[in-house]
Amino acid sequence: MTRSQMARRTRRWLASSGLALTVLAGASALAAPAPASAQSYQATPPTQGALASDGPADRYLLGGTWLYRPDVGNVGLGDGWWRDTASTTGWNPVSVPNSYNAGQLTKASMNGWVGWYRRDFTLPASAFSHSVPQADRRWIIQFESVNYAATVWINGHRLGEHQVAYLPFQFVLSHLHAGVNRLVVRVDDRHTAGDFPGGGAGWWNFGGILDAVYLRPVQRADLDSVVIRPELPCPRCAATIFEQATVRNLTSHVQKVALTGRYGAHRLNFGRATIPAGATWTPTATVRISHPKLWGLFSPHLYKATDTLSDRSGRRLGGYAWQSGIREIHLTKSGRLDLNGRALSLRGFSIHEQTATTGSALDLAQMQQLISWAQQLGAGIIREHYPEDPEMEEMADKAGILLWSEVPAWRTGNAQLNSSVWRKQAVGMLRDSIEANQNHPAILLWSIGNEFPLSVTGGQASYIRQAVAEAHRLDPTRPVGLATMSWPNIACESAYKPLDVIGFNEYFGWFDSGDGSNDDRDQLSPYLDALRACYPHKALVVSEWGFGGDRTGPVEDRGTYAYQVDEMRFALGVFATKPWLTGAIYFPMQDFAAKPGFDGGDPLGKPPIVDKGVLDRFGNPKPSFAVMQSIYRSTQQIAPAR
Amino acid sequence: MVAGLWGLAAAPAARAAANPVAAAGAQPIAGPSTGLTSLNGMSIARDGTGGVVFLSQVSGAEHVFVSRLTGGVFGSPEQVDTGLSGASGQPVIAAGNNGLLLVGFINSGNLYVSQTPGASASFAAPVKLHTGAENPALQMTNWGKAYLAYTAPLGSGHYDVDAEYYDNGAWQAVSAPLNVTPGDDAGTGVGRPSVAAAGDGVGIVAWGENGHVYARRVWGTSPSVEDEQLDPPNFGGAAEVSSGTPVVSVGGDSPYPDIAYDEQLSSGPDTWNRVLMTRLIAEDVGDTVAVDNLSESTPGNAGQPAIAMSEYGRGYVLAGDDSTDQLIGMPLTNQGVPAASPAPVSQGPSTAPIAGVPAVAGTSAVVLAWEQSSGQPEVVERYTPDGTTLGAPQVLSAPGAQVQPGDGLAAAGDNGGDAAVAWVQGSNGALSLEAAQLYQPPIAGQPSVKSAYARTPTPTLRWSAGQARWGPLRYQVTLGGHVIGHTSATSLKVPEALVDGPHTWTVTTTNPAGQSATGRKSTVFVDTVPPEVSFSLSGRRRAHRRLSLHLHAVDAPAPQPGARASTVATVRIDWGDGSGLLEDSNLTRAHHVYLHRGGFRIKVAVTDRAGNRTTVTRTLRIAK
């Protein structure tokens, strides 16, 4: 995408009503106080600060005590649970983030239900500058992730709705008043086949408000997001930092503003603008850095990027901050991914953001634990089936671990792929993810999905074309990939031509697939060679491989620790003989709950737990942990600098 | 998603096997001869290659012979124990793709193997694997690895069950005996070993020892540290007396083998024999079920367990009900789980206990064969394309064939749904080895192009080869509604001259069973006559002046009733001055300006769609 294209592009509003839109994420860890009882529920103001340092400045974390009310019969809408009512009857205190079905591994839990959240709050007293008149003050509420469909009310007024977890959205808060304000969120985590992911996905459907909720004061104009794009033509070249901000005038008056920025010690000047009421200003600025310190695998260097919005008198109105990294990702003609001119041979893990106690609502310590395990294991890359939490992304930036960023188009069937409506929604979701996450240097690529049908229909081919084109348009600096289901005897697929990276999920010696063509692990090496012959100019990654292990026993018995270790050693030995292989990502790092009845292929598994992790569900390392750690750490995951 | 089976729902649907048709009755593989003594086994690989192994006397001693199955045709018998003196016995066979065959046998009390790497290679000279052995059992994985289990006498009534592992052309001894108690009576009598080789490369050996049935996995040359006793201490309210005759089968996943076996039970004064089946689930022993359909309140006797499982663990387990002389079967679904209760699969009266043979033919199809004696013994099969819905019984042996029930019965199938059943028939001194092949319909050969032109009245028609694991395939060509020839090649020259014009033709692919499939229609347009061409010029023949060419080109039909011409395809004009060619498909007039004076040769070439070309030239002089 050219800069002029970027400047012309306007943000896409997601709300069916109101002003919901995807947002860029945002510093200090704030511990949520323990829930009080509903009877003694008191409205409290949000706390200044955010869980992540990246993103808009001046955020207030809407933590504290929330209320939750299950609505299994889905009567809440009709019964007016959204109304501005002080009574807490039927409501129970919880803390947010929250999965309302955490710990419930039943079929009903997987299918989902409706749950209602409520937070009574007062507005912070000193959020606004005295110089900003009341008429030019606004509040924005921002949700980082709600699974799955959220409808939001404030003081009985409907603000709008949003669908799809793992992506942020926000609304301008109208109808606020002095004293107690009452926020109500209806969450419906029942998935249909056309959702993201469709019903019956391969990881537990934990519903709820899964990540932080923020309030953000807007003074005159909202510095909503800034694209911070370091461009590095070659590893030893000077870097150009290109930034584009989005400044929205949410008031009914003309606003005169100026925007300046810093990237490390370098200054950027976006200029000044007079923004009509309701209009958006998208200024750009660049700065050249002659001898940049590069963000590298396991050796991240981060520059502090800040942008400040001020009024015509130079008084600060708002800000934006990010820990940015300068690096170059390049697909070579020989079909490899280079990072800063050095070939990648990544080893890593897939993870699910899930714990045995809190479901998919992870606090900072739980996220940090995942990153810490990955670091201990020597992982150079982490993959999830959905965009990582912004806090996780920030941790990966700081750890120098790459991320395979994927949208949850998981095992989508042909009925959806052949639907132009579904494809449009999926491409829109990809767009939202790129817009929200693209400033993170850790993100290696954009993945447009996982395990689509092997017989590629015109619909799938069309989705691949559309999604790749859109990702390249929005972010020309990153490759685009797809994780595919794979085993021998599958013909080379011409529909994969638009892709830069093809991921192959292979389970030689574990799942019995493809008429037994992947039964015998000795066939893994020739199979990989055949893949390379099919796609000599694509970067190829084993995007999934894994073996269960949850008990002691003989090595030849599938599902024992000894078996898991033996198979891991064997597969990694094969991968090591393929110098062209850009990476191999073990699935998963930690055992997780998948779906009712599914044992993950372990003959003596314990549904719904998938036990292929090197850590059990409670964080206890299996024997395979040390084995993987030893092999991963001794693997040269990036070629030496030339 | 089926647990343990990944991606099945998303995989391209394999062509489902249909109830196959047997070829024109049974075909002799060997004999009739005075030497043939027994049929000992048949194995067919996924690709349809394989072979049968049998014993036949040479100079008064039994020797091991193999008839290879290549391209769907059983070949002439080949002796594989050449160079060994003394009689051979207990031969076993295992087939791999591309004609790979392994044959194990006992000669002079020692274990030998002979093998061929492919259909075009000879059997290698036998190699002795173990001194002192009996009761070999052999099976190969879909990926060419094999396990050969056997009983090793240690002397003084002591035995071990040992195994050899085959991979990449070489045999290696498994590192330790498999039996529970070293030097026990393992593997003798009804405890003879059975072996199954899972697609993942792990072998499972089952054997009888000290009145019990055990199984142990072997991964390469390493036996599992665990052995697993399968027979229960009691069943159906009766106490176990002893068990034996284990038969084991497994699909692609070694965690899920099923083992069927005889179980002698007693309750009070009564003693009876039943056939039971026990699943192994990884290192756990799963449920034990009865296969024999006997009533537990008034049990009779059953025996002759047999079992076969496909890649995903689907298949059948059989037992003979000695009380009713019926063959009992129980279908198995994914991972060897019983799919239904046991039920009779044989029909009609029989006067002797029935021993059945199951075989899988692809991921779901199963063929069940047995020898049924209701007067004259006959060989009968039932086939199920989906593993559960059995087709009607089909008698394979010819009337009055004198089937010899005691001399062997074997069945096997490939991965496409084809199957074969073999048996011995005839009278003493004139026995023959017979096989009936059950064919799946072929996939039709297709014309190489949808339409073509020909300049000869006897064009050669070409098509792609039909597809079938078993042939030979023959092709019938129909042109204009009339059959014009048969061939086993993939082309045919039209035998009689065709009238100019379009002719529609098809090719029908037929297999030895007479099953056929017709490809799509194609058209050949015969045009033997070149176009008629003339042209005239107008304009001043001077340099820098425009000259016009008026072309008359007609592709006239041949002077035959009903003839048609293919019409003009291209017109090419060479003005003769090096200015390049003018080429069009529908050109009747052209203009040209010569830049220089001189003599030029105009050449007009007209080609019809069949490629017939007429070229007309004229020389002209251009003045200054």
- Write the CA distances from A268 to A54, A245, B223, integer angstroms: 18, 12, 70
Helix or strand or coil: residue A367? helix
Q: Are A498 and A468 in contact (CB under 8 A)?
A: yes
Nearest by Cα to A492 from A445, A437, A454, A544: A454
Of the candidates A451, A514, A519, which has its C-beta nearest B143's C-beta?
A519
pLDDT digits (tens, 9 = 90+) for A99-122: 999 999 999 999 999 999 999 999
In angstroms, the separation between the Cα of residue B127 and the nearest Cα of chain A is 26
Residue A166 DSSP symbol: T
Of the candidates B222, B284, B311, which has its C-beta nearest A604's C-beta?
B284
Taking contacts as CB-CB distances below 8 angstroms, the residues of chain A near B364 are: none
Contact flag A520-B201 (C-beta cutoff 8 Å): yes
d(CA B443, CA B517): 6
What average pLDDT does the segment A433-454 reach? Answer: 98
Question: How many contacts, defined by CB atoms under 8 Å, are there between A and B?
Answer: 122
pLDDT at B10: 36
Which chain B residue has its CA at the smallest distance from A412's CA? B10
From its phi and psi, is residue B406 left (phi > 0), alpha (psi between -120 and 50) or beta? Answer: alpha
Q: Are A214 and A141 in contact (CB under 8 A)?
A: yes
pTM of the model: 0.90
> Chain A contact for B224, CB < 8 A?
yes
pLDDT at B16: 66
Taking contacts as CB-CB distances below 8 angstroms, the residues of chain A near B176 are: none
Taking contacts as CB-CB distances below 8 angstroms, the residues of chain A near B145 are: 520
pLDDT at A36: 55
Pair of tokens at residue B131: 């001194």
Return the C-alpha torsion angle A333, A339, A342, A348, nearest 10.
Answer: -100
> Chain A contact for B400, CB < 8 A?
no
Taking contacts as CB-CB distances below 8 angstroms, the residues of chain B near A522 are: 143, 201
Pair of tokens at residue B557: 């039909």
> Chain A contact for B252, CB < 8 A?
yes
Q: Which residues of chain B are modeled with pLDDT < 50?
A: 1-5, 7-14
In angstroms, the separation between the Cα of residue A457 and the nearest Cα of chain B is 12
In angstroms, the separation between the Cα of residue A180 and the nearest Cα of chain B is 50
- Say which residue, A200 or A235, is predicted with more confidence: A235
Residue with structure tokens 């045009």?
Answer: B527
d(CA B601, CA A239): 67
pLDDT digits (tens, 9 = 90+) for A543-560: 999 999 999 999 989 999
Q: Which amino acid is at B172?
A: Q
Q: Are A163 and A408 in contact (CB under 8 A)?
A: no
Taking contacts as CB-CB distances below 8 angstroms, the residues of chain A near B143 are: 519-520, 522-523
Q: How far is CA A11 from the centre of its chain?
A: 19
Residue B541 DSSP symbol: -
Contact flag A513-B283 (C-beta cutoff 8 Å): no
Interface of A with B (CB under 8 A): 411, 451, 453-455, 485, 487, 507, 509-516, 519-523, 553-560, 597-601, 603-605, 607
Q: Which amino acid is at B161?
A: V
**Does pLDDT of A244 surpass 80?**
yes
- Write the CA distances from B265 to A358, B288, B341, integer angstroms: 54, 14, 21
Contact flag B254-A560 (C-beta cutoff 8 Å): no
Residues 145-164 of B with CB under 8 A from A: 145
In angstroms, the separation between the Cα of residue B12 and the nearest Cα of chain A is 6
Nearest by Cα to A311 from A79, A129, A488, A509: A129
pLDDT at B15: 57
Interface residue of A490, A556, A587, A595 to substitute, partner B, most B CBs within 10 Å: A556
Q: What percent of chain A has pLDDT over 70?
A: 94
d(CA A140, CA A170): 7
In angstroms, the separation between the Cα of residue B92 and the nearest Cα of chain A is 24
**Does pLDDT of A542 surpass 50?**
yes
d(CA A520, CA A560): 18
pLDDT digits (tens, 9 = 90+) for A313-359: 999 999 999 999 999 999 999 999 999 999 999 999 999 999 999 99
